[in-house]
A and B are shown apart, each in its own frame.
Chain A
Amino acid sequence: MYRWDFLPVLANADLLLQGLVNTLAVTGTALAFGIPLGLALALARLSGRRWLAWPAGFVIEFFRTTPPLVQLFWFFFALPVLIRVEMTPFMAAALTFSIQSAAFFAEVFRGGIVSIERGQWEAARALGMTPPQSMRRIILPQAVKRMIPAFMERAIELMKTTTLVATVSYADLLFQANEIAQKTFRPLEVFTVAAGIYFTVILLFSLMARQLERRLAVSGESTVH
């Protein structure tokens, strides 16, 4: 019978905590860049101009259909050779996950924008607004409210995807756990605790998302059923 011993894990709690902070840092950075980029991609795809819509569509589809780990390796190992810059694991991760999540956010934005009734466009035009004005003042504010649940879901997915940075030696929670496991020879306890931390943090976000979703569903403004 295996004897569990969590003391070596506790002794390295500060490393795990640092890892969690780094995980949140990558997630936050990717969100900060991914959401605006996703909006830009969605607007380009919906613009009706082929030279804008087509490249945007390609970026969205490409990053949605290739595995994120392949993308990360490409940005970490291949891109520095191509443009001769020093790429840190954090930069590669931030770049990969910003673009990757932007591709998914773009589809969320697009779904939200398309779900707004045509009458809203017509009314905005009747009031003398140009299309960009109606998009900014009338359509987007309503669409964003409907998209919130899908957004939260994507953000949670993103946080889970960031564990991949451990494979390029960025000191996120999973990487730290691996290090501690090798140092203390206690992989069972260390990986169990790491999984527990991920579970707790992500479940917390999931519950918040569900709460918000229910609130929005009551006011009938959600696109998620």
Chain B
Amino acid sequence: MNYQWNFAAVFEHTDALLHGAVGTLRLFAICLVLGLSLGLVIGLARYARHRLLNWPATAFVEFFRNTPVLVQILWFYFALPMLVPFEISPLMAAALGISLNSAAFSAEIYRGGIQSIEPGQWEASRALGMTGLQAMRRIILPQAIRRMLPALTNRAIEIFKMSTLASAVAYVELLQQGKLIASLNFNPIETYSVIALVFFVFLFPLVRATYALERRLAKGD
């Protein structure tokens, strides 16, 4: 247990870590936007009564919720290029896998949130002469989003954690850079400890904020 810790070698590569952090944030932003917006579309489709909309949306959600996201990323990276005529970059494969996976999970959040709104709200909007879509946009969604906020921030945190999986297809993000630094300097302890801490320091405030949000909403409702 008398290992000599030496963090200097890690901090010599701060620029590489920053480069990785930019990659992580880029992937996170893409997946957050794509995942949550596609999730809304699919959540609404699942809520639709029409079978042509409802059924494919359900199949999509079940498939992506019930397969591991790493399998999806590797599928998009290694298998999809066989079917399409263009190259799939590591960023594309990772973004596709994580976005579609998050879309499936957030679709369920949207559906649950919309269903939690009392039927009286629908009836009142109809009484005011709104169409179904108008009622959804103006009355139901604004109320539902408020209730869904903690679950959606949780999803965002999950997406951030999932972004590390992109290192499996050699996309340049924090963990991938950590791997390089560790193999260059033979200092896995310091490097991986720093990487873990970076994630913790970044995500923990978000987690606390989600807790606080949950408590406030629990009081408000």
Q: A residues engaging B (CB < 8 A)?
A: 2, 61-62, 64-71, 73-74, 77-79, 81-83, 159-164, 166-167, 174, 177-178, 181, 187-188, 190-192, 194-195, 198-199, 202-203, 206
CB distance from B10 to the nearest CB of A (A): 12
Would B161 and A68 count as touching, CB distance under 8 A? Answer: yes
Jot down 15 A-B pairs with beta carbons below 8 A, ordered by A. A65-B161, A65-B204, A71-B196, A78-B189, A160-B67, A160-B68, A161-B68, A174-B74, A187-B79, A188-B78, A188-B82, A191-B74, A195-B75, A199-B63, A202-B67
Would A199 and B66 count as touching, CB distance under 8 A? Answer: yes
Nearest neighbor of A83 in chain B, beta-carbon distance: B1
Q: Mark B24-45, 1 if CB is under 8 A from A, else 0.
A: 0000000000000000000000
Would A69 and B74 count as touching, CB distance under 8 A? Answer: no
Cβ of B23 < 8 Å from any Cβ of A? no
Would A163 and B70 count as touching, CB distance under 8 A? Answer: yes
Cβ of B167 < 8 Å from any Cβ of A? yes
Would B200 and A65 count as touching, CB distance under 8 A? Answer: yes
* Assembled-state Cα–Cα distance A153/B164 (Å): 22
Contact of A70 among B70, B80, B157, B192 (CB under 8 A): B192
Would A194 and B71 count as touching, CB distance under 8 A? Answer: yes
Would B162 and A67 count as touching, CB distance under 8 A? Answer: yes
* Assembled-state Cα–Cα distance A70/B192 (Å): 7
Task: Report chain A residues within 8 Å CB of B96.
Answer: none
Cβ of B9 < 8 Å from any Cβ of A? no
Task: Report chain A residues within 8 Å CB of B160.
Answer: 67
Task: Report chain B residues within 8 Å CB of A69.
Answer: 164-165, 167, 175
